[in-house]
Amino acid sequence: MKARAVVVFLGRVQGVNFRAYCAEKAEAMGLDGYVQNRWDGSVEAVFEGERSTIETCIEWNKTSQPYARVESVEVSWSEPNGEFQGFRALR
């Protein structure tokens, strides 16, 4: 089932190449969307694709990022709107 997830990663997630690794993994998994730093030190990602694939990608980012330390994750699910093609790391 296709889905859209807006995800906020909190912890040591800026200055550790989190966005680059997240984008690389999401693209490899065939997800669409983007990842960007937020002013409060967290990182926001929007994933669109198969829900199970999104869940796997979120879990990878929580536990397998090489230099980050994710302390918590906030996820909001909704219907995908198809606005993205590919996955990009934004500023």
Please pick, among 12, 17, 37, 88, the residue that the annotation labels catalytic. Answer: 37
Give start and end residues of each alpha helix (H) in the chain. Answer: 18-28, 51-63
| Torsion on CA atoms 36, 46, 33, 69, rounded to nearest 10 | 50
Question: CB of 67 within 8 A of CB of 15?
Answer: no
> For this structure, is 17 an active site residue?
no
Is 37 noted as a catalytic residue in this protein?
A: yes
Catalytic residue of the set 19, 69, 81, 88:
19
**Which are the catalytic amino acids?**
19, 37
